[in-house]
Amino acid sequence: METRWLDPEERAAWLRLAAVVELLPGVLDAQLRRDSGLSHFDYFVLAMLSEAPERTLRMTALAQRTSATLPRLSHVVQRLEGRGLVERFPCPQDGRATNARLTDEGWDVVVAAAPAHVEAVRHHVIDALTPTQVRQLTRIADALLGRLDPEGRVRELLAPQQA
């Protein structure tokens, strides 16, 4: 099979997307560490728990929602548990599974962190785009997720937030 090299326009688009993918996580992580003492992934874990019924998810469901491996998630939850932000306990419906629950202190931390984080997302991403571009970005991301997430697990979790 012959390589289909990128043409100049495709290369320009790819290099810009790659730069955004590399730079944005660091910018958001720095803001959260500075303002809240959380990494971007810590915040994401706390936020996913904050949106769950009874602020509780099975670790496997939390891994799916955060696109994390179970070992990575387990390490992060253990650290958050040590700070009193999350607690783990056996799943009542399936003793082989473990649940993670956001504590009241964890709730307070994520609620306090959210306004500055949303402002950073707005400043670095949303406000840089027109409303039409925001809609286009959603469609572009959906197209990419169609290839990156062919089973639709991530897209299924995002559907309720879409307007």
Task: Please indicate, yes or no, whether residues 36 and 81 belong to a single structural domain of this protein.
Answer: yes
Asked if residue 62 is part of any domain, the answer here is yes
Indicate the helix (H) or strand (E) that contains 160. none
pLDDT tens for the 163 residues of the chain, in order: 999 999 999 999 999 999 999 999 999 999 999 999 999 999 999 999 999 999 999 999 999 999 899 999 999 999 999 999 999 999 988 878 999 999 999 999 999 999 999 999 999 999 999 999 999 999 999 999 999 988 888 877 776 544 4
- What is the tally of structural domains in the chain? 2
Query: The CATH number of the domain where 36 resides is what?
Result: 1.10.10.10
Is residue 86 located within the same domain as residue 159? no
- Within a domain: 23: no
Residues 151 and 75 in one domain: no
What pLDDT is stored for residue 40 in this prediction?
Answer: 95
In a domain, 20, yes or no: no
pTM: 0.86
Residue 4 is assigned to a structural domain of this protein: no
Q: Determine, yes or no, domain membership for 105.
A: yes
Assess if residue 7 is contained within a domain.
no
- On whether both 137 and 79 belong to a single domain, the answer is no
Encode 97-108 in three state secondary structure: CEEEEECHHHHH
77 and 43 inside one domain: yes
> In this structure, are 92 and 136 located in the same domain?
no
Nearest to 125 by CA among 138, 143, 110, 115: 138
What's the confidence (pLDDT) of residue 160? 54
CA torsion through residues 31, 32, 37, 40, sign: negative
Task: For residue 163, give its domain range.
Answer: 129-163
